[in-house]
Structure 1
Amino acid sequence: MVDVTYPIIIAAAKSWFRVGGFKIDMQGTEHVPASGGAVIACNHNSYLDFIMTGYPGEKNKRYTRFMAKKEVFDHKVGGPLMRSFKHLAVDRSNGAEAFEIAVNALKSGEVVGVYPEATISRSFLIKDIKSGAVRMAAAAGVPVVPVVHFGMHRIQTKGHARDLSRGKAVVIRVGEPYFPTGDDVPAQTAELKRRMDALLDECIAAYPEEQKPPGAWWVPASYGGSAPSLEEAERLDVEEKKLRAERKAAKAATKKA
């Protein structure tokens, strides 16, 4: 099936980059395979990650099919749009089915985008990652390609107001393909995280000094910014989950009454 929506959205994104005065520094796009399946393992620090983590593949004439919760596909507007991109609907309550969907797509030659951290990192560092990316790649016999970006979170991320002001820098680094065998999943997952950590370090080092002043909220504390530490970010995530569960319970109780 021919992609119709993807090229249109990519063209619109590139226009936004020009109008918004984005300063994009992207390296390593040659690591995205020109053909065949691959898992793109992306960091997750904003609500707009998919734009930048799919960009390297487009440079090599590949479209990334992102895994997304099935509820998004149930939306009357979002659903048809997601299906037009050929993204993958997954049921979070059925991990085995989600895994099978991804592996089948990889075996059919698709590039599948995965966020191993699962949720947005408030610290802007790489959180502990899940093993899914490694297991999928091993099961399908394809490489994992780590893609890490830094800067998009300044536009829209968790806990901060949206900022559409012009001239923001975004740095993207694509790592070399990594071929997990599945023989030692914990060790191979740890190796993927090590590679993602190293790429993030490259991104922050390459980020323009004038756009990462001391104490900036968008810079990790360990790099001189004021973002929460990994531990503090985890505490905030736990609190958020608790509040969400309480609101859900209250809403259910109100309906029942």
Structure 2
Amino acid sequence: MTQLLPAGSRPVRFGRLARLNREPTNRVLRIFAPWIHRVLRIWTRADWRGTENIPISGPAIVVPNHISSLDPVLVGEFLVYNGRWPHFLARANLFDNRIMGRLLRAAEQIPVFRASDKARDSLQAAEVALAKGHVVVIYPEGTITFDPDEWPMAGHTGAARLALRVGAPMIPIGQWGANYALPPRGIRPFRLRRTPVTLVAGPAIDLDEFNSALDDREAARAATTKVMDTITALVEQVRGQTAPVDRWHPKLDRRVPRAEAVH
């Protein structure tokens, strides 16, 4: 049976955002963040861990597991109330909505054009954001996990390639609970209740062993396996369970050895 929260979790204490986050940002994020925070505190009960691993300044790439349409908002709140303003790589179709698209662009979020000749543009835009000292958030899985037990699934190489190219620290996040607050794909009934959610940030992932092979496809795949292994270990910690030895590959619709679970 899936455990929602590990024992010993503690509620998060919040102060005024201006006191917790002094990093410069755009007007949209500054205005909307407190309102989103208030809604989330009605909807969820947060337990944040490993906040000391979030760099207080400078560029960083944040890589969370993906379990719900709600979890990007929770990850964003986690970063904002620990001093950093996030710049997400988000599906391009979200930018097609007239109102949401304007807000996302004004908030300096980055569209991802999957399976098109513009696919590389998102990583180039991410490089620009990192060069400005921003925090960029990339979901290596690319979409909400298809694993039947909601473990992290196969990863894409883009996040690892970006980290190797720019040398920014990569901070993993393991999370659990958003999939109960807003269940994905109808896997469980939606119930409006204050749901416990846990997010834990781990230390920066050491990818130095792959730096000598920046353009090596196999090195990028191996680095991605290490990234997904690190995220999975954090999810194990949050869930209080051990993940399957193999990892779900959505294209094959089954679990495969972890080294093969890379797009």
RMSD, aligned CA: 2.6
Among the aligned pairs, what percent are the same residue?
A: 26
1:1-257 equivalent positions in 2, closer than 5 A: 2-20=25-43, 22-92=44-114, 93=116, 94-123=118-147, 124-156=150-182, 157-160=184-187, 163-181=190-208, 182=211, 183=213, 184-205=219-240, 230=248, 235=253
Aligned length: 216
Segments of 4+ moved more than 6 angstroms: none
CA distance in 1, matches of 2:97, 2:62: 26
Q: In structure 2, the residue corresponding to 1:36 is in which secondary structure?
A: coil
Aligned-partner residue type, residue 160 of structure 2: V
Letter in 2 for 1:115: Y
How far 1:56 sits from its partner (Å)? 2.8
Amino acid at match of 1:96: R
Q: Distance in 1 between matches of 2:73 and 2:80?
A: 10
Would the aligned equivalents of 1:70 and 1:90 in 2 still touch at CA under 8 Å? yes
Larger Rg over CA atoms: 1
How big is the shift at 1:47? 0.7
String of CA shifts for 1:176-206, please: whole Å, max 9, x gaps.
0124344332222111111111000011029
Instruction: Quote the Cα distance in structure 1 between the aligned partners of 2:136 and 2:56.
Output: 14
CA, structure 1 residues 39+7, in 2 after alignment: closer, same or farther (shift >3 Å)? same
State the secondary structure of the residue aligned to 1:7. Answer: helix
**5+ unaligned residues in a row in structure 2: which ranges?**
1-23, 214-218, 255-263
SS of 2:186's equivalent in the other structure is: coil
1:164 positional shift: 4.5
CA distance in 1: counterparts of 2:65 and 2:123, whole angstroms = 19
2: CA distance, partners of 1:202 / 1:137: 24
Distance 2:131 2:250 in 1: 40
Distance 2:164 2:134 in 1: 15
Give 1:15 deviation, angstroms: 1.4
TM-score for the superposition, normalised by structure 1? 0.75
Gaps of 5+ in 1: 207-219, 223-228, 237-257
Shift of 1:232: 8.8
Q: In structure 1, what residue type is equivalent to 2:185?
A: K
Select the structure with the greater relative contact order (CA < 8 A; seq sep ≥ 6).
2
